């Protein structure tokens, strides 16, 4: 059984934008190389390779990966545990029992804020898990819910 809930579909837009930002860095480098190539009369091989790399990168980070990632991302918060599925090429399932949760927080970067999203970070004594890009209201609710359920007993650690 796969976890029930998907993350907000606005996450797709956010990931595409951050992919775009990543690509623009490669493009700037390519342009700089092009200018240098023209000035110093270098071979065009280098520039050509960069162009191919940036096209592949654009396809992967703007189109393919966000949608695969979004399709894969599932989570479910049950009474006693949190179940998370993520991954692009590798499917990853994580289980966190509620009693192990030490604290929960929501976080908003500038990009997430623009789209009214937030990510939820769940920390145990030893590990940290993130559910990215939920609707702000949903994220707040989740944070409250988890922190209410996670009545960490005064156990060691």
SS3 state at 73: coil
Choose which of 39, 40, 43, 126 interacts with another protein (CB under 8 A).
126
- Size, binding site for another protein by CB under 8 A: 25
Name residues contacting another protein, limited to 92-121 (CB under 8 A).
92-97, 99-100
User: Using only C-alpha atoms, what is the Rg of the chain?
Assistant: 21
Q: Which positions ≥6 away from 32 have C-beta within 8 Å?
A: none
Tell which residue, 77, 72, 120, 113, has the closest CA to residue 96.
77
Q: Using CB under 8 A as the criterion, what x/- string covers residues 29-68 for binding another protein?
A: ----------------------------------------
Q: At what angle do helices 10-40 and 65-72 cross, to 10 degrees?
A: 160
151 counts as binding another protein under rule CB under 8 A: no
96 or 117: CB nearest another protein: 96
124 binds another protein (CB under 8 A): yes
Is the CB of 36 or the CB of 91 nearer to another protein?
Answer: 91
Question: Taking Cα atoms as reference points, which of 32, 108, 26, 96 lies closest to residue 61?
Answer: 26
Give the Cα separation of 89 and 149 in Å (integer).
Answer: 33
Among the listed ranges 15-23, 43-51, 52-60, 77-85, the one in contact with another protein (CB under 8 A) is 77-85
Token pair recorded at residue 93:
């399932």
Q: Does 129 bind another protein (CB under 8 A)?
A: yes
**Where does this chain bind another protein (CB under 8 A)?**
1, 78-81, 87, 89-97, 99-100, 124-127, 129, 155-157
């Amino acid at each position: 059984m796969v976890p029930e809930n998907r993350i907000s579909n606005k996450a797709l837009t956010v990931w595409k934008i951050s992919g775009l930002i990543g690509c623009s860095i490669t493009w700037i480098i390519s342009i700089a190389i092009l200018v240098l190539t023209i000035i110093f009369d270098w071979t065009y091989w280098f520039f050509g390779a960069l162009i191919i790399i940036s096209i592949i990168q654009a396809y992967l980070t703007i189109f393919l990966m966000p949608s695969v990632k979004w399709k894969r991302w599932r989570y479910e918060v049950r009474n006693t545990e949190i179940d998370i599925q993520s991954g692009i090429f590798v499917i990853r399932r994580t289980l966190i029992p509620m009693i192990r949760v030490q604290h929960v927080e929501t976080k908003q970067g500038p990009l997430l804020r623009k789209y009214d999203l937030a990510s939820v970070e769940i920390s145990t004594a030893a590990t940290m898990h993130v559910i990215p890009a939920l609707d702000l209201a949903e994220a707040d609710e989740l944070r409250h819910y988890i922190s209410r359920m996670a009545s960490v007993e005064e156990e060691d650690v």
